[in-house]
Structure 1
Amino acid sequence: MRVLLAVLVSALLPVAGTPAVAGTGWSPSPITWTACPDDPDSPEPPDGECGTLRVPLEWNRPWGPAIDLALARHRATDPAHRIGVLMIDAGGPGSSDAEFALAAGHKFSPEILARFDIVGLDLRGTGRSSFIECDDSVAPPSDEPANRAEFDALRQYSRQAIADCRARNQPVFDHADTAVNARDLDAVRRALGEDKLSVLGISYGTLLGQQYAEQYGDRVRAMVLDSVIDHSVDVRRFMVDRAASAEELFRQFAAWCDRTATCALHGRDVVATWKQALAVADGMPEPDWLPDRVFSDMYTPDWDDVARVIADTAAGRPPMTAQFSYNYRSIRLAVVCQDFDLRIGTFAQYSALHAEELRRAPLMRGRSIGHYEATTCLGLPGPPANPPHRLNISRAPRILLVNSRFDPATPYAWAVGVHRQAAANTTLLTFEGSGHAVFARTACTRTTVDRYLLTLEAPRQDVSCPGD
């Protein structure tokens, strides 16, 4: 059943680089904006307004069932000089972009806040848009199977978990990949009455930006893609590139610790202490928590916390591990598993991939978000609904790509790869530092991004900003 769905959806989606299906007869109803509900986790009232947009569940069957998508808007503070709408996607997948829009006052410069309505759309399966939630009460087997029997057990668990999640979250589960979300994004543009959109995509949101530019390039005013996903990578690069990137970032941490007196490991052999901490973690029920905790700290990066966690664990005082936010663990099954071809068919194939991960990332034990996602998706039958492909954005204006030199989740090599695929109309801004999501990291990165969004003056040559 899932195979047939994947094939049908894939066949019906627009070909990359071609216009979306036109003449369907569907047109959006105006969005009614009202006061947003209070967030019980926030001491401040919402800074903006909320609304919903009803769209077809299947864009190629606009007469069929429909779903409601939640939005939020932070209005331009200088409406007399308003440029237009800045659509934002904070990535994940799983982040609530409506919540991100309501927090715009803390995220963007006064100039951007003055000139743009900042709008966030809760993509399908996130926030208040048919939230996808799976039953994770059954603990999975190890995602590092040591033999064929363990691999078969992991694949069977994955296959069952995906089937159960799909059954719990119909009908949206089968219609939540990024190509579909791109069509929703243009529906928002039409409902807002905008001729063109400016777009800021962060992390997984860069894939939404790319696919929107492929399908609707002539509707893009400006686009910033920060921490770039490369949709053309195969399963090997999906896993190995990210493992190597995490390893390089750990070595950046070790170098920082050597030169920083406040580091909890300053003056010690960082690598040796790390191995001691790993040995302690190996004796715990979930030994992988330590590299996973360190990996999550690399996003900021929070080197102080990395040092404390390693020091405390090596001393026999391991802290609790961090958890993923929102519903990432659930929605990745409907999104990542359909955007990339992560079907690892045999134990021999897995063994070869993991051996390369370990070779490229021995200190991090080959752990990365790529390994985690690939082993989660390995039980999915059939081809992905949104097949990976090289970027084709010939109808789009110049787009600004942003990436740190040392990024744990979206390797710098991916940004370079996307830049090469669209060399005629992309500029690459390199942040010569560490971490993930860096458009506002320093005065240099923020100024470059803001100038482009406000004036459309993207650098014609690739540029870099020093690390902080």
Structure 2
Amino acid sequence: MLGTVLASALLLTGAIPAVTGENWTPAPIVWTACPDDPDSPGPPDGECGTLRVPLDWNSPGGPSIALAVARHRATDSAHRMGVLLADLGGPGSSNAEFALTPGFFSPEVQARFDVVGFDVRGTGHSEFIECPDTGRPPGDEPADRAAFAALREYSERAVSTCRARNRPVFDHADTAANARDMDALRRALGEPRLSFLGLSYGTLLGQQYAELHGDRVRAMVLDSSIDHSAGLDRFLGDRAAAADGAFRRFAAWCDRTTTCALHGQDVFAVWQKALAVTEAPERSDLRDRVLKDMYGPDWPDAAQAIAETAAGNPPVTAQFSYNYASIRLAVVCQDFDLRIRDFAQYSALHAEELRRGPIMRGSTLSHSETMACLGVHGPPANPPHRLDIPRAPRILLLNSRYDPATPYAWALAIHRQAPSNTTLLTYEGAGHGVYPRNACARSAADRYLLTLAAPEHDVSCPA
């Protein structure tokens, strides 16, 4: 991570853009060398700058905020094809740092594109959202009405204190606002069209940009997609089923791999023993650890964690290294309608989670997001809906069949919502994120980005 690479760039805010009613013009970006990063062996290979945008796109003449931007120029400037905007997702990742990360994109792509990233609202050096410590929350799997009421009260307090600390950006950080920022960046760069590659939550930014400005998209790759049409039942249930599907893949790996710490044992029985050893009903540390291992996937670590826990020595659970726990309150809770009315509705939803994901007992990712949103009132600022991209070019969707975080069912749903201009590439393996892990998928995505030749039909890449 570049850490402090962009801090000083934010001092170069430039002039406040001119505003005439709804016609808003961004100021050009002033590019400077990125400051040295003490954690890197040498100076950063890129440029840093700042984009100023309206805080509230419904009032473009009002206050503005600064967004951190970075770019890595095309290494073959004579054959430059334009800008490739990259979004690593999260939410919470620094896309400006991601744009300067060496080795993610192939040399051919880096030769032909300026790779650009901007820290979306609330991340990195763009009005970073960080909630104050409100103490350990109650368990997020309440067993009765009293426990549910206690959790709601805690969540309301947590959301209120976080909002107070991070206003005004907290109220204007949903993905629809970021999509409008993205077009302001395009205009500030002087580009008629953009190419885009988004991963995980970054795919929602790509989808919403394609809805708003499909005619400004040259090419778009969406890797491990968020389905914005998912209601509460699918938001919870689809991820619960996906987590179980990944666990079965893990168990099969253990059965055939002698180095697995659980090889030769009944993996499912040891898993149940480990859960009984470590978990009070309100705790999900082991489940969270194993779910994160599924992202890699890091099967050896998952096996070791389960074995040690079953033996009575639960290991430390890995934590997110960015501000995901804070920013999800301002982003995920406004991009999805995760409002649970009462304990009766919660009980029905949780029962469905357990029915669809009995092995992992639901997905700790979607469950924790939903329960964190208990304290958010009012309708979502960016209501979920079916994808509508008639003006967009063909979009290439990549997804693992056994993705624990963005279920394969979500990629299929998006493909069904826009069948005429999406192509689905399925990686027949496990893990979250396809482009960086699989040569077959990377080759197809690179060919599309470089030539606009997407596969004519849905394709499959072997694990």
> Structure 2 length as normaliser, TM-score?
0.94
Structure 2 gaps, min length 5:
1-18
1:112 is the counterpart of 2:109: yes
1:379 Cα deviation (Å)? Answer: 2.0
1:457 is the counterpart of 2:449: no
Amino acid at match of 1:150: A
* 2:402–2:431 contact (8 Å) kept in structure 1: yes
* 2:196–2:206 contact (8 Å) kept in structure 1: yes
State the distance in 2 between where 1:255 and 1:126 align: 38
Aligned with 1:429: secondary structure?
Answer: strand
Alignment of 1:192-207 (within 5 A): 192-207=189-204
State the distance in 2 between where 1:311 and 1:397 align: 49
1:54 is the counterpart of 2:43: no
Alignment of 1:7-46 (within 5 A): 24-46=22-44
Aligned with 1:107: secondary structure?
Answer: coil
Alignment of 1:291-440 (within 5 A): 291-440=287-436
1:311 Cα deviation (Å)? Answer: 1.1
State the distance in 2 between where 1:431 and 1:107 align: 18
State the distance in 2 between where 1:420 and 1:287 align: 37
What whole-Å deviation, never above 9, does each CA across 1:375-430 have from its counterpart, x for those lacking one?
11022111000000111000000000110000111100000000000001000000
Structure 1 gaps, min length 5:
1-20
State the distance in 2 between where 1:365 and 1:113 align: 42
Match of 1:228 in 2: 225
State the distance in 1 between where 2:115 and 2:333 align: 29
Taking structure 1 as reference, are residues 209 and 22 closer, same or farther at Cα in structure 2, changes over 3 Å only?
A: farther
Aligned with 1:72: secondary structure?
Answer: strand
Match of 2:251 in 1: 254
State the distance in 2 between where 1:358 and 1:40 align: 46
Amino acid at match of 1:98: A
Aligned with 1:389: secondary structure?
Answer: coil
Match of 2:7 in 1: none
Count of residue pairs brought into register by the alignment: 445
* 2:142–2:282 contact (8 Å) kept in structure 1: no
What whole-Å deviation, never above 9, does each CA across 1:183-226 have from its counterpart, x for those lacking one?
00000000000000000010000000000000000000000000
Match of 2:133 in 1: 136
State the distance in 1 between where 2:136 and 2:35 align: 35
- 31-40 or 144-153: bigger deviation: 31-40
Amino acid at match of 1:365: R
Amino acid at match of 1:266: H
State the distance in 1 between where 2:328 and 2:36 align: 27
What whole-Å deviation, never above 9, does each CA across 1:289-333 have from its counterpart, x for those lacking one?
000000011111000110111111112222110001210000000
Match of 1:77 among 62, 75, 78: 75
> Structure 1 length as normaliser, TM-score?
0.93
* 1:242–1:368 contact (8 Å) kept in structure 2: no
Match of 2:90 in 1: 92
1:117 Cα deviation (Å)? Answer: 0.4
State the distance in 1 between where 2:328 and 2:135 align: 18
1:58 Cα deviation (Å)? Answer: 1.0
What whole-Å deviation, never above 9, does each CA across 1:21-77 have from its counterpart, x for those lacking one?
996232111111112123344344322111001111111211110000001101111
* 1:239–1:368 contact (8 Å) kept in structure 2: no
Aligned with 1:63: secondary structure?
Answer: coil
Match of 2:177 in 1: 180
* 1:368–1:409 contact (8 Å) kept in structure 2: no
| Structure of higher RCO (CA pairs closer than 8 Å, 6+ residues apart) | 1
Match of 1:10 in 2: none
Aligned with 2:379: secondary structure?
Answer: coil
State the distance in 2 between where 1:62 and 1:366 align: 42
Amino acid at match of 2:303: A
* 2:221–2:397 contact (8 Å) kept in structure 1: yes
Aligned with 1:224: secondary structure?
Answer: strand
1:286 Cα deviation (Å)? Answer: 7.3
Amino acid at match of 2:297: P
1:287 Cα deviation (Å)? Answer: 3.5
Aligned with 2:23: secondary structure?
Answer: coil
Aligned with 1:86: secondary structure?
Answer: strand
* 2:254–2:260 contact (8 Å) kept in structure 1: yes
Match of 1:273 among 265, 270, 273: 270
1:230 Cα deviation (Å)? Answer: 0.6
Aligned with 2:399: secondary structure?
Answer: strand
What whole-Å deviation, never above 9, does each CA across 1:406-462 have from its counterpart, x for those lacking one?
011110000000000000100000000001111121210110000000000001210
Match of 2:160 in 1: 163
* 1:245–1:411 contact (8 Å) kept in structure 2: yes
State the distance in 2 between where 1:204 and 1:360 align: 23
State the distance in 1 between where 2:70 and 2:211 align: 25
Amino acid at match of 2:277: V
State the distance in 2 between where 1:288 and 1:460 align: 44
State the distance in 2 between where 1:366 and 1:165 align: 27
- 40-49 or 453-462: bigger deviation: 40-49
Match of 2:120 in 1: 123
State the distance in 2 between where 1:367 and 1:186 align: 34
State the distance in 1 between where 2:200 and 2:372 align: 19
Aligned with 1:160: secondary structure?
Answer: helix
State the distance in 2 between where 1:286 and 1:372 align: 11
